[in-house]
Structure 1
Amino acid sequence: MKKLYLTLFVACSLQTGVAQGFRGRVFTDTNADGQLNNQEKGLAGVPVSDGLHVTITDANGNYQLPGHTRTRFIFMTTPAGYRYTSSFYIRADSSLPAFNFGVQPVARANNAVAKFVRLADTETYQFNNWITDAREYARNENADFMIHTGDICYEKGMAFHAQYINTRTMGVPVYYCIGNHDLVKGPYGEALYESLFGPVFYSFDAGPAHFIVTPMRYGDYQPSYTVDDVVKWLKNDLANTAPGKPVIVFNHDLLTYDTLFTIRSKTDSINLNEHHLKAWIYGHWHINFAREHGSSGIRSICAAPPPDGGIDNSASNFDVIGIDKNGISFVQRRYTYVHDQLVPVSPAATGVAFDGDKMVISVNAYNTSSPVTNVLFSLFDKKGNLVKQLPLQPRTDWNLFAATAIPAAWMNGVYTATLEATLGTGRVLFRRDTFTLAKSTPVKISKPSSDWPEALQNIQRTGITGITTAGALHLHWTANLGGNIWKSSPICAAGKIFTGTIDDEGNHHSSITALDAQTGKQLWQFPTGNSIKHSISYHNGLLLATDAEGVTYTLDAATGQLRWKHTGDHNNLPAYNSGGAVYNNMYYTGAGNYLQALDINTGQVKWTNHDWTGGEGTPAAMAIHDGRLITSSNWNHLFAHNAATGKLQWKRADEGIRFRSGTPAFFDNLLYVYGINKLHILDPATGKTTDSIPVTEDLKTMTAPLVTNNYIITCTAAGGMIAFNKKSKKEQWRFVPGEALFYSAPYSSPSSATIESTPLLVGNRLITGASDGYVYVIDLNTGKMISRFNTGAPVFADMAVYNGMLYVADFSGNVNAFSL
């Protein structure tokens, strides 16, 4: 037995290189065959590591490393301006005489900026168009590399990615991080990952920056590496990095929500703030979220998955990030699966918007793999003569805009407009539409309608309007707010429309904006620190909203001036994206242990929840009835609190209720709420189920149930809208819109006909916005479509009706007003 132990020890020593050390050369691989020949020259100044020690190649590209007891790979820090030709790592095989790394100069390398494509939490072993989108974008836009920040995932997912998403197939260097679901059964948690993707921590250079990949600390199976291993290697790696070089770290999770990025082990630590850390890029949460960490100069960016919707209904995407000498220079989300989208909002057959005497030209155009660089608008009279031509200016990543004077003699004539959208590849999209050039007739208001101060008009979230009928939708005006609109419903009061925009990239595009309800003219805009994900609330001349970092803003609705601001107790993930509510002069906002009731006039905290915490962020809005506050946390519970005191009254997590995307709603003193595959009707006092309806489709949309005299209307993640008979609970009809332009409901993917905007009841009609970009008018009794309007971008926000007009906010940042 002693002899066997000795044999194993010697074998392990040889395998890890402790006995012999490691040597090799980094060389310019002129023929790209990965093999060093006599004509190929060495490259000086390249760091090479054995997983602990780091050395630098000499003038001839040679290096030597001592190895250590757990050396599994020798890997180089690929230098900026070069790409590896075979691999950046070699397994530590004692039979190899040398460990040589070939590199080639990158054509058109930009030393001032590094641009890369980031994938997160793909969790799939099925090929789909998102892979093509990412590959084509990287090639079209000359990305320096692509990186996956973990949860690849499990055995099937890792094998699939290794085969289909690699440097050869994607056309750019592809790097991977290890996530918690990539630590799987084996000799040790990362064994399969290493066999497919190499070391779990390493570094490379691109442009002006130094990029470091660090591993997940924990996972489904125990890793063999420790935090101490990572810290020791990091110290050596950064000791061989040029001082002042921006450092970007990739990891599957966020290290800290605070400003101090210190990695600590039991025996050691390293403060990355002292090493010019500029960004921490992570995944894990399946959300789109970005923030600046105080005045540290460090930004962190999370992304939802590219194949499907995020856990909190974030849009499917990969993000594109640019790094210059100062850190992050730009961030762009590329929403997956969108191909050749080119839709005129105005002018169109369904209406022409005007700003005074100027015709508004508003176009929604998008293409995932090659961005739209410009759009040319041309106007022809009925004889085919070109009478006007002008380029459009971008307002958001979806919308382009212009306004042009129209002679009075042209009015009421029939014209043809063409759009030519040029992509970054040079390919041109073309569209032709014919319309009547006429202003919309002003809506006559015999009696002003009630305010629309909350999403779905009231805190019971009923969605029932006072309008008696609706037919074809006719565009009255359109206005773009300069940022994307996610779930922020138009709020209507005092002759104004209010809504909020998101900025999931950290590009300072988030705001609260006021528009004139009759004309769409912008009255004021207030910038917010982070995204206004959900709806805002109006009460007695005040607007109240909470951003994704838990900061509440109270504005004067007439002027946009800040009355007070409250920074809640939000100091960790997930980001905040629920809808708050006003009741009895208190504003309810936050979640978990930062769920609070605030005095609407002063911002004073009336109570803070201490009864529950945890779960994920939910896009559901709070609902209030009879002094009872209903709120939730995704993957946790539905909760009922006493609105006056904050005391928890009951909670439910069973029968799929813990999956919280949808807003609860009160009808006839009953609470209607979605589980993942069941509609529940609850007693609000006890939380007990009084009735339920099984639903074959996933109910993971951000909608609330709509209850009418005869029907219960539900919206699904993949199967459109379903009407159930209120008495029998049987399905009466189903309306299926087109396939979503991109995907938002958790884990929804092609082909999903998703509705994220709660239907409104208008007489015997339903009006709903869908993820295919259309607003539909549907017959309540049959489910048949009466009319539709193409907004050209997904509609997630709940709509509003005010003074005879329908207001629809879409993802492009447009607020559209329709006469009913």
Structure 2
Amino acid sequence: MSSALVALLLPMASVTGHAADTSTAVVTGVVFSDKNGDGSQKKGEPGIRGVSVSDGVTIVQTDADGRYRLETDPGRRTAEIVFVTQPAGYLAPPDESMTPQFYRQLGELDVGQEATASFGLIPAPKNRNGDFTFGLLTDPQSLMLSEEGRGIFEGLVGELNNLTAEPDFLVNAGDLTQNSTDEEFVRYKSTTATSRVPVWPIVGNHDFEDSDLYDNYRKHLGPEWYSFDYGNRHFVMLENTSGFSDPPQLEWMRNDLATNAKKNKEVVVVAHRPMNSPATAGGADSPAPFIEVLEQYNTKLVLSGHTHKNDVDLTAVEGAAHVVTNATSSTLDQSPNGFRVVSFKGREIDYPFKMYDVERSLAVTSPAPGAQVAQGDGMVQVNAYNTTSNVTDVRYRIDRGPWRKLRQSSDFTWTAATRGRDLSLGNHSIEVRAKDDAGKTWSESSGFSVVRSESLNVPRAGADWAMFKGNSAYTGAAEDVLAPELQPAWSYRTPGTILTSSPVIVDGVVYIGTRDENGAENHAVHAVDLATGRALWRFPTDGQVEGTPVVANGIVYASTVRGTLFALDAKTGKKRWSITKGDSEDGVHRGWMYEQPNYEDGVIYQVYSIGERRLMALDAATGKQLWDTRLDGGWISETPSALGDGRLYVAGDNDWLVALNAKTGAEEWRGEPASCTNTTPTFSDGLLYLGCEGDELVVLNASTGKEVWRYSSPEESYLRGTPTGSSPAIADGVAYMGFSNGNVSALDAKTGQLLWTHRTGGGITSSPIISGGTLYVGSSDGFVYGFDRATGEKKWSFEIGAWVASSPAISGNALVVGAWDGNLYAFTGSGKLGEE
């Protein structure tokens, strides 16, 4: 290591003697403009006035010569650290790991001891610019657990390096390690060393142990809370796993904001745990006192991780967007891994989520390859995406005619109406070309045919598909027979995303829930006409609609991740009633409903979490509570209750599974079959089927909870963490299951004997649906598939070009499914209704 680098790591930090005040130690030094970057003050490198210097408790400011004097309590931490608040116009130089060296390690100090620590800051005029961007990633905690996890982290840093507009810095929002070991911190730093820009870290709950608290983190990465300025904004980096119960942090934040957030300066807060969910601590660790202080300033953005899910809430901190980003390691809402690019431009603040590892994707969904299009009526629709750039222009031409522009409707989708541009009957070609802000282009071409409109089937409703997988046992078998080949009928576009919410179809109307990765405007329930794809109504919700709505007796029931269950009029979308769980006495909301509701015989069953998971039964007409039973755990789980033989079956975190009496809520049995936190149980013929972590299908006796058989799908998972989010479909003695390794498998429902397997090109989160002799399912490879139930032969597929984690719904001659591009897609069979 060079002497210059050593100077950057620990410049001018030393212990010099004893202080006059025997109750404290004293640290003195100078903060100066390090013009030549060598870490030591030379002639012509003046001190910097008004820079905050702190030990995490006391804050002092430098004088006109850049000098400071700080009294510190040497008994507060094992080893002492002092740090500066990086001012606008300067940069704290990064070390080998690209971690800014805004702090100085002083080791163990004694009462009465004196020490010196000086800080050379690099002049950076660009840092004064109010317009800038930074990359946000979080929870790369699998570094110790697998090389795959480390590879994802390195890949994300690499993609941030390759963004068209290079960010000014990165922020890693905690859980940098799994077990806070030296080895993990070294590996973390070796990965951040590949960044082209500085990486600011914060502490997560996995980054310290109770035995020595923050010692390891502090040794490797500096103080557990701190602040810095960039442009005209003030960043406050907090520790809220146990630090919110440490009075000095709150007092430090008060003083920091009073000193550094004057004159209505915008404030950005980064804290590992969200401040609006069951994962938010209570009691002495409550964020309420911090929120109260933050709301006294111009706080605009609060950034978190921890829950391994995406979420945006505009109500948690008044005036600010509270933004949670899913994990680098593995996600728990089954969304794609990714990161955010946070940008400030004037008064505008954007924080779009970028999906990991997508390279110049392009799919034409209308007119789709090989599709038939009605003469005189059509729409060009394309999905285009690239992780490291922004798609800025998409154009199409038909039969090598003039190029025409498409308009963007979501992060993925671009469209244009072609009405009035009649094409002759017969075969035609389409070329599509996408261009990004790096100036790169990519293209696709395909063929389609124009036919008379009367030769195409219009979607027509048949038997209702009123809930997830068609019924309260979740067996996934449709009454109506829909055989391939299917033709696309329409697409209903939203600006949001659709992940695991799946469409339901009742009385010729399709209902679906949507999410918003980049804001809160697109959290909603939608009603769409099945025949035309025309919007009937839209009801905005207080959070993502992660689960599938239920429709019964003219009411649509939909739950949100904010802990609210809505009952909406099916015809008008007006609210009949709602119930919200998780409002706390300290004013902090701590409620989740990631699970969809279930329904039977006038009763709505809803799982929710308020720090512990519970299941409640409500009168479906009025919302009156019939019973409410504690389940177990409190961590994130997406398993709703399945109904069968008078029982409700619910799985959750810590491997538990509970069976409750559906009438009374009384517990009948409890077991620990495996970790099954992402799937929906299926009940059929006295057996309970669960997709569990590690691509296992576990089958239990529904009366006793005893295991009957277990099947493990052998190939490597496409999805990080090997979640098994798919739920099996059961019919005619066969169980059909999708796995995260891309396999769709058929097994004997009684014995588990494998009958056939077909592997797709991506992980399966979508649940398979049975219609006649065909099995339909979506995949994260961007396709919807139709397989022969008897042989597993692929009979049909359609490329959407975005994850299909939503499960199909079938009614009459129509199949409807949602996708990550935010759109609903409807398909019709080519034969008459009911024909195989």
- CA deviations on 1:622-648 (whole Å, 9 max, x unpaired) are 221233222233335222222222222
Shift of 1:97: 5.9
Change (3 A) 1:422 1:58: farther
Q: Normalization by structure 2: what TM-score?
A: 0.85
The counterpart of 2:234, out of the listed 205, 210, 214, is 210
Q: Which residue of 1 aligns with 2:12?
A: none
* Counterpart among 594, 606, 615 of residue 589 in structure 1: 606
Counterpart code for 1:395 = S
Asked if the contact 1:278/1:299 (under 8 Å) is kept, the reply is yes
**Equivalent residue, structure 1, for 2:189:** 162
Counterpart in the other structure of 2:788: 779
- Where does residue 791 of structure 1 map in the other structure? 800
2:340 corresponds, among 319, 324, 330, to: 319
Measured against aligned partners, the alpha-carbon deviations of 1:153-185 in whole angstroms (never above 9, x if no partner) come to 13333211211214xx32222111112221159
Q: Distance in 2 between matches of 1:177 and 1:34?
A: 24
**1:192 matched residue in structure 2:** 216
Match of 2:129 in 1: 110
Which of 576, 596, 601 is the aligned partner of 1:579?
Answer: 596
Give yes or no for contact 2:132–2:167 (8 Å, CA) kept in 1: no
Task: Tell me which residue corresponds to 1:64.
Answer: 69
Segment of structure 1 superposing worse, 241-250 or 434-443: 434-443
Q: CA deviation at 1:202?
A: 1.0
User: Matched residues in 1 for 2:800 and 2:690: separation?
Assistant: 29
SS in 1 for 2:765: coil
Q: In the alignment, which residue of structure 2 is the partner of 1:681?
A: 699
Query: What are the Cα deviations for residues 286-331 of structure 1, in whole angstroms up to 9, with x where unaligned?
Result: 22223233673344322221243x13424312123346898x8333
Note the alpha carbon deviations across 1:653-702, whole angstroms, 9 max, x for none. x231x432111112223222234354333333333334444554687322
In structure 2, relative to structure 1, the CA distance for the partners of 1:140 and 1:41 (3 Å cut) is farther
Unaligned 5+ segments in structure 1 are 1-8, 740-753
Q: CA, structure 1 residues 467+162, in 2 after alignment: closer, same or farther (shift >3 Å)? A: same
Q: Which residue of 2 is the match for residue 723 of structure 1?
A: 746
> In 1, Cα distance between the equivalents of 2:767 and 2:241?
41
1:402 Cα deviation (Å)? 1.9
- Measure the CA separation in 2 of the matches of 1:58 and 1:262: 40
8 A Cα contact 1:136 1:370, kept in partner: no
Displacement of 1:474 after TM fit? Answer: 2.0
Would you say the 8 A contact 2:691–2:725 is kept in 1?
no
Does the CA-based 8 Å contact 1:217-1:227 persist in structure 2?
no
- Matched-pair contact (CA < 8 Å) for 2:204–2:306: yes
Distance 1:591 1:109, change over 3 A: same
Render the CA deviation track for 1:64-92: whole Å, top value 9, x for unaligned. 33344257223211123433234212222
Q: CA deviation at 1:536?
A: 0.1
Aligned amino acid, residue 579 of structure 2: H
Question: 2: distance between equivalents of 1:378 and 1:570?
Answer: 54
Q: 1:231 aligns with which of 250, 254, 259?
A: 250
SS at 1:123's partner residue? helix
Encode CA deviations 1:736-767: one digit per residue, 9 max, x unaligned: 1113xxxxxxxxxxxxxx10111112222221
Matched, 1:565 2:578: yes
* 1:22 paired to 2:24: no
> SS at 1:598's partner residue?
strand
In 2 relative to 1, CA 82–403 (structure 1 residues): closer, same or farther, beyond 3 Å?
farther
Q: 2:314 aligns with which of 281, 292, 304?
A: 292
Q: Which amino acid aligns with 1:321?
A: V
CA distance in structure 1 between the aligned counterparts of 2:197 and 2:80, rounded to whole angstroms: 25
Alpha-carbon distance in 2 for matches of 1:685, 1:263 = 40
Residues 420 and 762 of structure 1: is their aligned pair in 2 closer, same or farther, counting only changes over 3 Å? same
- Report the Cα distance in structure 2 between the residues aligned to 1:89 and 1:524, rounded to whole angstroms: 55
Summarize the Cα distance change of 1:251–1:448 in structure 2 as closer, same or farther, 3 Å threshold. closer
Partner of 1:748: none
* Residue in structure 1 matched with residue 381 of structure 2 by the alignment: 362
Counterpart of 2:370 in structure 1 is 350
Return the offset for 1:62: 3.5
SS of the residue aligned with 1:646?
A: coil
Give percent identity, aligned residues only.
27
Partners of 1:298 and 1:713 in 2: how far apart?
46
Does the 8 Å contact 1:714/1:721 carry over to 2?
yes
Name which of structure 1's ranges 785-794 and 499-508 shifts more when overlaid on structure 2.
499-508
Matched, 1:533 2:550: no
Q: Which one-letter code corresponds to 1:607 in the other structure?
A: W
In structure 2, the CA distance between the partners of 1:528 and 1:447, relative to structure 1 (3 Å rule), is closer
- What displacement does 1:21 show? 2.5
Letter in 2 for 1:231: L
Preserved CA contact (<8 Å) 2:713 2:739: no
Relative distance call for 1:290 and 1:690 in structure 2 (3 A) is: same
Identify the residue that residue 91 of structure 2 maps to in structure 1: 83
Q: Say which SS state the counterpart of residue 425 (structure 2) adopts.
A: coil
C-alpha separation in 1, matches of 2:626 and 2:209: 47
Which of 486, 492, 505 aligns to 2:499? It is 486
Paired position in structure 1 for 2:688: 671
Residue 452 of structure 1, CA deviation:
0.6
Aligned equivalents of 1:144, 1:19: Cα separation in 2: 37
Aligned residue for 1:635, secondary structure, equals helix
Q: 1:773-799, CA deviations, whole angstroms, 9 ceiling, x for partnerless residues?
A: 111122223323223111111111110
Query: 1:781 and 1:142, CA in 2 relative to 1: closer, same or farther beyond 3 A?
Result: same
**For residues 365 and 17 of structure 1, what CA distance do their matches in structure 2 show?**
64
CA distance, structure 1, for counterparts of residue 632 and residue 808 of structure 2: 31
Q: Deviations over 1:33-83 (max 9, x none)?
A: 444332334433322223332222334434333344257223211123433
Q: Alignment partner of 1:603: what SS?
A: coil
> Letter of the aligned partner of 1:399 in structure 2?
T
Give the drift of 1:456: 0.8
Instruction: Report the number of matched residues.
Output: 774
- Rounded to whole Å, the distance in 2 between the matches of 1:651 and 1:201 is 43
Asked whether the equivalents of residues 379 and 419 of structure 2 are also in contact (C-alpha less than 8 Å), the reply is no
Q: Using a 3 Å threshold, how does the CA distance of structure 1 residues 185 and 537 change in structure 2: closer, same or farther?
A: closer
Partners of 1:767 and 1:776 within 8 A in 2:
yes
Residues of 2 paired with 1:467 and 1:755: CA distance?
A: 24
Alpha-carbon spacing, 1:446–1:158, altered in 2? closer, same or farther (3 Å): closer
Corresponding position of 2:154:
131
**1:811 Cα deviation from its structure 2 partner:** 0.9
Contact 2:693 2:724 in 1 (8 A): no
Aligned to 1:563, what secondary structure does the other structure show?
A: strand
Q: Distance in 2 between matches of 1:46 and 1:419?
A: 55
